[in-house]
Chains A and B, each alone.
Chain A
Amino acid sequence: MSNVSKSYPGVTALEDVDFELVAGEVHCLVGENGAGKSTLVKLLGGAELPTRGRISIAGAQLTVREPVDSLRAGIGVIYQDFRLVPHLTVAENISLGLLPRRAGMPVIDWPATRERAERLLAMLGEDVPVDLHVAELSPAQQQMVEIARVLGHDVRIVAMDEPSATLTGRELANLFRVIRRLVARKVGVIYISHRLDEVDEIGDRVTVLRDGRKVGTFAASELDRSTLVRHMVGRELGAERSREARSAGGVMLRVEGLRREPVVRDVSFELRRGEVFCIAGLVGSGRTEVARLIFAADLKEGGRIELDGREIAPRGPREAIDLGIGLLTEDRNQQGLIMQLSVRDNILLSGLRVLTRRLAIDWRRADEIGWGFVDSLQIKTPGIHQKVMHLSGGNRQKVVLARWLFTKARLLLFDEPTKGIDVAIKGEIHGMLRDLADRGIGVVVISSDLPEVLAIGDRIGVMREGRMSAILDRRDATQQRVMELATASDSQTEART
Chain B
Amino acid sequence: MSRPSRSRLAAVLAEYGIIVAFVVEVIVFSAASEHFLTVANLANVTLQTSVLAIIAAGMTFVILTAGIDLSVGSLVAISGVVCALLLKVEGPVPAVIALGIAGGIAVGLLSGCVSGLVISRFSVTPFIATLAMMTIWRGAAYLLVGGRPVWGLPEAFDFLGSGRLLGVPFPTVVMFGVYAVAWFVLAHTPFGRYVYAVGGNPEAARLAGIRTFRVIVLVYVVSGVLAAVSGILLASRMSSGQPNAGLMFELEVIAAVVVGGTSLFGGRGGIVGTFFGAMLIGVLRNGLNLVGVGSYVQQVVLGFVILLAVMLDQVRKQS
Question: Chain A: residues with CB nearer than 8 A to chain B?
Answer: 9-10, 295, 297, 316-318, 320-322, 327, 329, 334-341, 345, 349-350, 352-353, 356, 359-361, 363, 382, 403, 407
A-B contact list, 13 entries, CB within 8 Å: A317-B207, A322-B209, A334-B201, A335-B207, A340-B200, A340-B268, A341-B196, A345-B193, A356-B189, A360-B184, A361-B189, A382-B3, A403-B208
A335 and B204 contact, Cβ closer than 8 Å, known pairs A9-B319, A341-B196: yes
Task: Say which residue of A329, A345, A360 sits within 8 Å of B207 (CB atoms).
Answer: A329
Closest A residue to B319 by beta carbon equals A9
Which residues on A sit within 8 Å (CB–CB) of B268? Answer: 340
Interface contact B200-A341, CB-CB below 8 Å: yes
A352 and B193 contact, Cβ closer than 8 Å, known pairs A9-B319, A339-B200, A339-B201: yes
Closest A residue to B190 by beta carbon equals A352
Bound form: Cα–Cα A472–B32 in Å? 82
Bound form: Cα–Cα A337–B205 in Å? 8
Interface contact B189-A338, CB-CB below 8 Å: no
Question: Chain B: residues with CB nearer than 8 A to chain A?
Answer: 1, 3, 7, 184, 188-190, 193-194, 196-197, 200-201, 203-211, 267-268, 319
A335 and B203 contact, Cβ closer than 8 Å, known pairs A340-B268, A352-B193: yes
Closest A residue to B265 by beta carbon equals A340
Which residues on B sit within 8 Å (CB–CB) of A321? Answer: 209
Which residues on A sit within 8 Å (CB–CB) of B190? Answer: 352-353, 356, 361
Which residues on A sit within 8 Å (CB–CB) of B319? Answer: 9
- Interface contacts (Cβ under 8 Å), in number, total 82
Closest A residue to B2 by beta carbon equals A382
Q: How far is the CB of B188 from chain A (nearest CB, A)?
A: 4
Interface contact B207-A327, CB-CB below 8 Å: yes
Interface contact A340-B207, CB-CB below 8 Å: no
Interface contact B189-A349, CB-CB below 8 Å: no
A338 and B211 contact, Cβ closer than 8 Å, known pairs A349-B193, A352-B190, A359-B189: no
Task: Say which residue of A317, A338, A353, A403 sits within 8 Å of B201 (CB atoms).
Answer: A338
Q: How far is the CB of A244 from chain B (nearest CB, A)?
A: 35
Bound form: Cα–Cα A356–B185 in Å? 12
Interface contact A318-B210, CB-CB below 8 Å: yes
Interface contact B188-A360, CB-CB below 8 Å: yes
Bound form: Cα–Cα A10–B11 in Å? 13
Bound form: Cα–Cα A337–B204 in Å? 6
Q: How far is the CB of B198 from chain A (nearest CB, A)?
A: 9
Task: Say which residue of B193, B204, B210 sits within 8 Å of A361 (CB atoms).
Answer: B193
Q: How far is the CB of B28 from chain A (nearest CB, A)?
A: 32
19 additional contacts (CB under 8 A) given A316-B211, A339-B201, A407-B209: A9-B7, A9-B319, A334-B204, A335-B207, A337-B201, A338-B197, A338-B208, A338-B267, A340-B268, A341-B197, A345-B197, A349-B193, A349-B209, A349-B210, A350-B208, A350-B209, A353-B190, A359-B188, A361-B190
Bound form: Cα–Cα A409–B26 in Å? 54
Which residues on B sit within 8 Å (CB–CB) of A349? Answer: 193, 197, 205, 208-210
Interface centre among A338, A349, A360, A382 (most CB of B within 10 A): A338
Bound form: Cα–Cα A488–B194 in Å? 46
Interface contact A334-B207, CB-CB below 8 Å: no
Which residues on B sit within 8 Å (CB–CB) of A363? Answer: 188
Bound form: Cα–Cα A360–B193 in Å? 11
Interface centre among B190, B207, B210 (most CB of A within 10 A): B207
Closest B residue to A382 by beta carbon equals B1
Q: How far is the CB of B191 from chain A (nearest CB, A)?
A: 9
Which residues on A sit within 8 Å (CB–CB) of B208? Answer: 317, 338, 349-350, 403
Bound form: Cα–Cα A349–B268 in Å? 16
Interface contact B211-A318, CB-CB below 8 Å: yes
Bound form: Cα–Cα A317–B201 in Å? 15
